[in-house]
Structure 1
Amino acid sequence: MIDEEISNLTAIDTFIRQKQPFAVYRIPGEKTPRLLTQAGGTVRLIYDLKDLNGQRGFVIAPFRVSETCPIVLIQPDQSGQPLPMDVDTDGEQEKAGQTQGQETFLNTCTDKYAACFHTFINALRDETFDKLVLSRELVIGQMPDFSPSSVFRAACKRYIHSYIYLCYTPQTGIWLGSTPEIILSGEKDGWNTVALAGTQPLQDGKLPQAWDEKNRKEQDYVASYIRRQLLSLGIRSTENGPYPAYAGALSHLKTDFHFSLKDNKDLGNLLKVLHPTPAVCGLPKEEAYQFILENEGYDRRYYSGFIGWLDPDGRTDLYVNLRCMHIEDEQLTLYAGGGLLASSELDDEWLETEKKLQTMKRLIAY
């Protein structure tokens, strides 16, 4: 197994060097990652989510679709094949308890973040918006011996409750992430999405049970939005939650929505009304989306978009692209954000992004 695992890791790094489109991913609850490649032809570029209707492949969708940041569809000859790799682990919650005390956070926020925060919070306190999500990027130098495949393996071992992926296309470059948030998953008559919002650290590796009003309100905005969006397409769902759920060394409040679809070929239409959810954008949706584009101060690219396998005739597993990094030749760009309400405080929100950045930082020992 060890020799085969080393061979698989080497193959992934070779795909990157040869600029061959591929994706390797591990679904929560599974021990074996799946690998897919597109050896022939070019990946498909899409500029409207509705055009995903009836499509099959690995989707990489940005926060904002543009000419330079399209939706990319890797279309392999077959769905992801098992990739033997030793990813057995005793669970992320136990490891979180071991490492939390060793981590340090930058307690003083940057001037850029503070300026953006005040712009966002003023709009919230003026009651222009109910919720806004403010994110930021952190650029660090890439170490000489950095191996994307090794980092992917480390993420699989550490974050058993998250969706782990590593992918490359010429249009997107290399992205790697560990995300807890489903945007759409299911098959046949059973489909689901989630409302995931509100953040707390784990308590001695365990889920916190007490949540303050700010976190509960933030999560309720997302749940109400999803409920409305599903009903707009005539979809009636059953709900479970909210309840605390693991996300690395953090916990979020989660509500599950389960439903059936009249036609599984129209998944693009459903994704168009769901994305971006208030968990990564804000409310009212269109106004908040435009406000973020104009005031956040950088391009999120594929961060806070969504990613994963799409198959209307089989199994679909699509996740919001959170806790991720963009890997370039000499640098890594890490991303993190947090939901703001009128009651939000600068230092608290900054610290939340610092803790979320640790999800990727732990993997690269920076």
Structure 2
Amino acid sequence: MLLQKKMIDKEISNLKAIDTLIRQEQPFAVYRIPGEDTPRLLTQASGSVRLLYDLKDLDGARGFVIAPFRASESCPIVLIQPEQWGQPLPLGEYAEEELEAFRLRQGRETFSEACTEEYEACFRTFIEALRSKQFDKLVLSRKSVIGQCPGFSPSAVFRAACKHYIHSYIYLCYTPRTGVWMGSTPEIILSGEKNEWSTVALAGTQPLQDGRLPQEWGEKNRQEQDYVASYIRRQLLSSGIHPTESGPYPAYAGALSHLKTSFRFTLKDNNRLGSLLELLHPTPAVCGLPKEEAYRFILDNEGYDRRYYSGFIGWLDPDGKTDLYVNLRCMHIENGQLSFYAGGGLLASSELNDEWLETEKKLQTMKRLVSMSL
């Protein structure tokens, strides 16, 4: 009992330390990679975070990257450069009754069946462009804003995410330029070290079936995923990279599942990771095809600024281990409000109500954690 009390006291101390860093406006990132038990905490105690506006400027860089969907003066690429790689941050174990409460909450969740007028208007604009064959695919996203409840703790939400979403990359970070962001994302954009690297194509969405991965996938989901896989394959080959592939196969993403194709490859020069990221980002999983035209269409017609949602985030190190993930299933914490983000891939065959419900389910990835942590 004494040992258990000491572990709980240590966990509480760790959580308070994270919330204190936010109050003190000190740049930090804490993250947990899928397959690891213990998160890592990075802090930058001296100097300012590095601001970049071109992904190629990440060539040879080392640090924790927070990259937006579109880099701009108001939303730059931010690089936290800590004094050390990252100290382990034990967060303790969840009691079984807490896990059961989480499972029960998932089973009782209801979703808004009626979409907002704003979403419907955007959907009509996007679907008209798809059905007139201007694009093969477009990704339409939205955000949902709620007030911050008394007793809300970002670190407590982070702890809940680490324990409940074991297949996802979990992060919580703060810089004076970005504010506080937190997410639980399943999608790698670039991972590896030395001579072994990987990326994935992740698209198509279904709920889990009694906690298990669905094995039957319709034509719309398969076509959507194939667009992403074909794009990544072409981009890698255009740079002289010849990957080996596996998939597509269903993969976990919180209470949802996606179709996934894995690409593994070698690199001749690890100091050009920024240039490779420029080739890949944004993939059709968060943008559309043709890429440049879809990118501009989204900026002109989606109706809001995605900021760091659907950008990418994680540790970059050309001489060590790199783990960068697309910033999905995330929230921004600012001025007493929580902004949640979610999107879905549209094809010419997409239907309004289906796409709205998909975003509702994706938004629950973070919303249920906030409820759980209070």
Write the distance in 2 (CA, Å) between the matches of 1:115 and 1:121: 10
Give 1:189's aligned residue. 195
Give 1:346's aligned residue. 352
Render the CA deviation track for 1:266-306: whole Å, top value 9, x for unaligned.
Answer: 00000000000000000000000000000000000000000
Query: Could you tell me which of 349, 353, 367 is aligned with 1:361?
Result: 367
Write the distance in 2 (CA, Å) between the matches of 1:7 and 1:233: 47
Give 1:23's aligned residue. 29
Matches within 5 A, 1:219-238: 219-238=225-244
Q: Are 2:280 and 1:271 aligned?
A: no
Write the distance in 1 (CA, Å) between the matches of 2:269 and 2:130: 39
SS in 2 for 1:361: helix
Write the distance in 1 (CA, Å) between the matches of 2:177 and 2:196: 33
Runs (4+) of structure 1 moved beyond 3 Å?
A: 87-90, 93-100
Cα gap change, 1:45/1:361 in structure 2, threshold over 3 Å: closer, same or farther?
same
Write the distance in 2 (CA, Å) between the matches of 1:289 and 1:183: 17
Report how far residue 362 of structure 1 moved: 0.5
SS in 1 for 2:230: helix
SS in 1 for 2:16: helix
Report how far residue 345 of structure 1 moved: 0.1
Q: Is the 8 A contact 1:97 1:204 kept in 2?
A: no
Cα gap change, 1:87/1:52 in structure 2, threshold over 3 Å: closer, same or farther?
farther
Give 1:78's aligned residue. 84
Give 1:202's aligned residue. 208
Q: Are 2:307 and 1:283 aligned?
A: no
Write the distance in 2 (CA, Å) between the matches of 1:216 and 1:257: 17
Q: Are 2:250 and 1:240 aligned?
A: no
Render the CA deviation track for 1:194-235: whole Å, top value 9, x for unaligned.
Answer: 000000000001000000000000000000000000011100
RMSD across aligned C-alpha pairs, in angstroms? 1.6
Cα gap change, 1:342/1:96 in structure 2, threshold over 3 Å: closer, same or farther?
farther
Write the distance in 1 (CA, Å) between the matches of 2:259 and 2:368: 23
Cα gap change, 1:55/1:255 in structure 2, threshold over 3 Å: closer, same or farther?
same
Q: Which moved more, 1:93-102 or 1:141-150?
A: 93-102
Q: Is the 8 A contact 1:278 1:285 kept in 2?
A: yes
Give 1:173's aligned residue. 179
SS in 1 for 2:283: coil
Query: Could you tell me which of 262, 265, 285 is aligned with 1:259?
Result: 265
Query: Gaps spanning 5+ residues in structure 2: where?
Result: 1-6
Cα gap change, 1:267/1:324 in structure 2, threshold over 3 Å: closer, same or farther?
same
Give 2:110's aligned residue. 104
SS in 2 for 1:214: helix
Write the distance in 2 (CA, Å) between the matches of 1:96 and 1:107: 23
Write the distance in 1 (CA, Å) between the matches of 2:163 and 2:27: 24
Write the distance in 2 (CA, Å) between the matches of 1:98 and 1:260: 44
Write the distance in 1 (CA, Å) between the matches of 2:129 and 2:351: 14
Render the CA deviation track for 1:10-59: whole Å, top value 9, x for unaligned.
Answer: 11011000000000000001110000000000000000000000000000
Write the distance in 2 (CA, Å) between the matches of 1:271 and 1:211: 30
SS in 2 for 1:291: helix
Q: Are 2:331 and 1:325 aligned?
A: yes
Render the CA deviation track for 1:45-90: whole Å, top value 9, x for unaligned.
Answer: 0000000000000000000000000000000011121111115688
Query: Could you tell me which of 45, 49, 58 is aligned with 2:55?
Result: 49
SS in 1 for 2:275: helix
Write the distance in 2 (CA, Å) between the matches of 1:87 and 1:43: 33
Q: Are 2:300 and 1:294 aligned?
A: yes
Report how far residue 178 of structure 1 moved: 0.2
Report how far residue 188 of structure 1 moved: 0.4
SS in 1 for 2:65: strand
Give 1:337's aligned residue. 343
SS in 2 for 1:184: strand
Report how far residue 99 of structure 1 moved: 3.7
Q: TM-score, normalised by structure 2?
A: 0.95
Query: Could you tell me which of 215, 226, 238 is aligned with 2:221?
Result: 215
Query: Gaps spanning 5+ residues in structure 1: where?
Result: none
SS in 1 for 2:215: coil
Write the distance in 2 (CA, Å) between the matches of 1:89 and 1:217: 41
Give 2:320's aligned residue. 314
Cα gap change, 1:34/1:89 in structure 2, threshold over 3 Å: closer, same or farther?
farther
Give the partner amino acid of 2:61: Q
Write the distance in 2 (CA, Å) between the matches of 1:333 and 1:109: 17
Write the distance in 1 (CA, Å) between the matches of 2:100 and 2:248: 23
Write the distance in 2 (CA, Å) between the matches of 1:314 and 1:278: 28
Counting matched residue pairs gives 365
Write the distance in 1 (CA, Å) between the matches of 2:129 and 2:105: 37
Write the distance in 2 (CA, Å) between the matches of 1:354 and 1:281: 19
Q: Are 2:160 and 1:154 aligned?
A: yes
Q: Is the 8 A contact 1:87 1:156 kept in 2?
A: no
